Structure 1
Amino acid sequence: MSPPIFVKLGLATPLGLSARATQCAIAAGLTGFADTDVADSAGEPVRASRLSSLDPATTREERMLFLGQRALAECLAGLDPRRLTSVACYLALPERDARPFNEAYVARGLRDAADPALPLDWSARPILAGRAGVFAALEAAAAAIASGRTSLALVGGVDSHCDHASLQHLAAGGRTLGKSNPDGLIPGEGAGFVLLARAGAASGFGAPLGRLIACATSQDSLPFNKRNPMHAVGLTAMFRQLRHLNAGQPRPQHLYSCQTGESPWARELSNAYLRNAELMPEPFRTSIIAGSLGDAGAASPVVQLGVAFYAFAAAWRAGTPADRAVLYGAADSGSVGGGIVAH
């Protein structure tokens, strides 16, 4: 069976409240990092990539809904309910950690914001796996399409680390980048949705954005702050799955990482890369979304998909078409996911 096709994209980030604005801003090397009113352990302001139009007092759920509803609306815009039967919906949200959030409130707010005339099936429970969640959602969506249970699937990821409580939690845990912590992260936020279609059902959507060649997930037994990145257990296993699924096919030409920029993640990638060199770009071209948006958590993979689609289109216009790319993300709790996409 032909791989499913990406036919629609919606993004909302601090760099732009649409896919095109976000893609162009990232391609231009823009960032939106700014000081917040939260101080780290050295008394310095925590820097974050957050939407400036939202009140700093806005809660995590409110920030997620504001971004998520806009990304969802863009992805669903122009769909004709009369031409659709059922769209299976899969939503990736933050992992469970010391910052509890009301997942039901967020899921309900997104569901209620969609056009009620559209046949959206939200029966699948949200996937709480942070940066790895969208890959688990894509894996489930591709399986549903392959089995014939649906011909269209909506996959999204929404997250925010930029509310006051989250900024305080990250600063107290020594995770934020600053003068006293040069190996920290920059909190970020964002939302993104893609519409995935069976190849035979993709007519009427215009030129496809890309194809989903493969998806894989894995699990590391230890969380971020306890595991040895040199072992790279979960990431190695996930890349191995992708390597087998891509056997005999062209080597990906770019790797897109959804990680935070902290050095343990880089060491983990180095070790997993050496064990799966056949999967990796040669030369080793990489992009990390945290360089543009900070840690956007569960939203990172969809933003990276948007970056990959933009690169595919730009390469095609330049007469040097890029065939495929590999993407991955790992959550602090140990969930790991990745995928291969092609033009």
Structure 2
Amino acid sequence: MKRPLYVAGAGAVTSAGLNARQTIAAIRASLSAFEERTLPEPFGAVQVVARIPTHYQLRRTQGQWLVNMAARAIGEAMQTRSNASTTTAILLTPPESFRNHPAHGDIAPADFLAAVIMATGQKFHAASRAVDGGAAASIGLLERALELMEQEGVEQVLLGGVDSLVNDTDFARLGRAGRLKGTDNAQGLVPGEAAAFVRLTQNPEGKARVHAAIHGVGLAQEQDSVLSERYSQGRALLGALRDAVNGSGPSEPDIDFVISNGNGERYSGWEQLIARPRFYRTRREILPTAYPAMTIGDIGSAAGALALMLAADSLLKDYAPGPTVVCELASENGLRAAAVMARMTRR
């Protein structure tokens, strides 16, 4: 990245909390938002999920449910704004198109962003876009966010995603592949749902002395994705990590901890086991790693912004293991991304 981006605010709706503060507190406390749900197919089967508790009227359709979640998280992220919504651009990652998510049957992918903006009741910059690609794609949009602020008159960017794996379509798809966590599969994922957004600015806001700045981003495509018949050798994750530190910002020896959207699957664990020793070459007694999925399950496209939100909060509130963090994100379709963030202190 040519210059740092600053995380100035955040908003979230997850199974662990209806706002960012509650969600982060639950993750810090290592709480679990898991519960058992009885499935209609196969009839009577029980699946562990991380489901947001809410009134049934908000879930009349999957499309409206995702729109409601996204609008709520955007509203929270904008609460501390110093800029008008018309000078704010939204960069949104909805559920990946290959999944045939039931929300796409309610609201066409091309109309999804417009539906979210309408639900907020505000007008946003015309450069706002929805981008396919999952959690890693969200991190990959950081470069685009900087371009919008430098070249297109945007004063701030809301970067985030919304997704729900708690639906019959994803249950069936993941079940056929043997990827769901259950009594016969300890190394499986727990379907979750969430919306998460971070508010990005070019310069630090307010008079606070400490700020969270994103210094580098890396993006790469893994050929052996979880959808293929082969295990990943970690090549794309390694490439994304190396690109993220290939600049004037923090380098590999500076990294103090990791935030990952690893979801407990055997595939995910194998990839990290291979890629990390090839990147983290500096001797460390321990490399602290946070896995939000242990609290809120696999939240798909929302995981990128949530990782940035958690990283920024830990740096700003001084409970992080150190001043520099890398966020590692993997999408189902093979996209891999990394973002390096550091605590910056004003003199």
Q: 1:194 to 1:280 in 2, by over 3 A?
A: farther
What is residue 93 of structure 1 aligned with on the other side? 94
**Structure 2: runs of 5+ lacking an equivalent:** none
What is residue 198 of structure 1 aligned with on the other side? 202
TM-score (norm 2): 0.86
Provide the C-alpha distance between the structure 1 equivalents of 2:112 and 2:209, rounded to a whole number of angstroms.
Answer: 32
What is residue 131 of structure 1 aligned with on the other side? 135
Q: Following TM superposition, by how much is the alpha carbon of 1:257 offset from its aligned partner in structure 2, in angstroms? A: 0.6
Provide the C-alpha distance between the structure 2 equivalents of 1:307 and 1:78, rounded to a whole number of angstroms.
Answer: 17
Does structure 2 retain, via aligned residues, the 8 Å contact 1:13–1:190?
A: yes
Q: Following TM superposition, by how much is the alpha carbon of 1:314 offset from its aligned partner in structure 2, in angstroms? A: 3.8
What is residue 182 of structure 2 aligned with on the other side? 178
- The 3-state SS of whatever aligns with 2:117 is helix
Q: Following TM superposition, by how much is the alpha carbon of 1:248 offset from its aligned partner in structure 2, in angstroms? A: 5.3
- The 3-state SS of whatever aligns with 2:98 is coil
Q: How does 1:1-343 map to 2 (within 5 A)?
A: 2-38=3-39, 44-55=45-56, 58-79=60-81, 86-100=87-101, 101=104, 102-116=108-122, 120-147=124-151, 149-199=153-203, 202-204=204-206, 210-226=212-228, 228-245=230-247, 246=249, 251-278=254-281, 283-315=286-318, 322-343=322-343
Percent sequence identity over matched residues? 23
**Structure 1: runs of 5+ lacking an equivalent:** none
Does structure 1 retain, via aligned residues, the 8 Å contact 2:213–2:341?
A: yes
Q: Following TM superposition, by how much is the alpha carbon of 1:230 offset from its aligned partner in structure 2, in angstroms? A: 5.0
Does structure 2 retain, via aligned residues, the 8 Å contact 1:255–1:280?
A: no
- The 3-state SS of whatever aligns with 2:52 is coil
Does structure 1 retain, via aligned residues, the 8 Å contact 2:92–2:161?
A: yes
- The 3-state SS of whatever aligns with 1:236 is helix
Q: Which amino acid aligns with 2:263?
A: T
Q: 1:164 to 1:208 in 2, by over 3 A?
A: farther
Q: Which amino acid aligns with 2:243?
A: Q
Bigger mean CA deviation after superposition, 211-220 or 228-237: 228-237
Q: Following TM superposition, by how much is the alpha carbon of 1:47 offset from its aligned partner in structure 2, in angstroms? A: 0.9
Q: 1:143 to 1:250 in 2, by over 3 A?
A: farther
Q: 1:225 to 1:203 in 2, by over 3 A?
A: closer
Q: Which amino acid aligns with 2:14?
A: T
Provide the C-alpha distance between the structure 1 equivalents of 2:226 and 2:47, rounded to a whole number of angstroms.
Answer: 21
Q: RMSD across aligned C-alpha pairs, in angstroms?
A: 2.8
Q: 1:75 to 1:234 in 2, by over 3 A?
A: same
Does structure 2 retain, via aligned residues, the 8 Å contact 1:253–1:282?
A: no
Q: 1:308 to 1:139 in 2, by over 3 A?
A: same
Q: Which amino acid aligns with 1:185?
A: L
CA deviations 1:154-179 (Å, max 9, x no partner) are 21111111123333332233221111
Does structure 2 retain, via aligned residues, the 8 Å contact 1:34–1:47?
A: yes
TM-score (norm 1): 0.87
Provide the C-alpha distance between the structure 1 equivalents of 2:149 and 2:212, rounded to a whole number of angstroms.
Answer: 16
Does structure 2 retain, via aligned residues, the 8 Å contact 1:5–1:196?
A: yes
Q: Between Structure 1 and Structure 2, how many residues are aligned?
A: 335
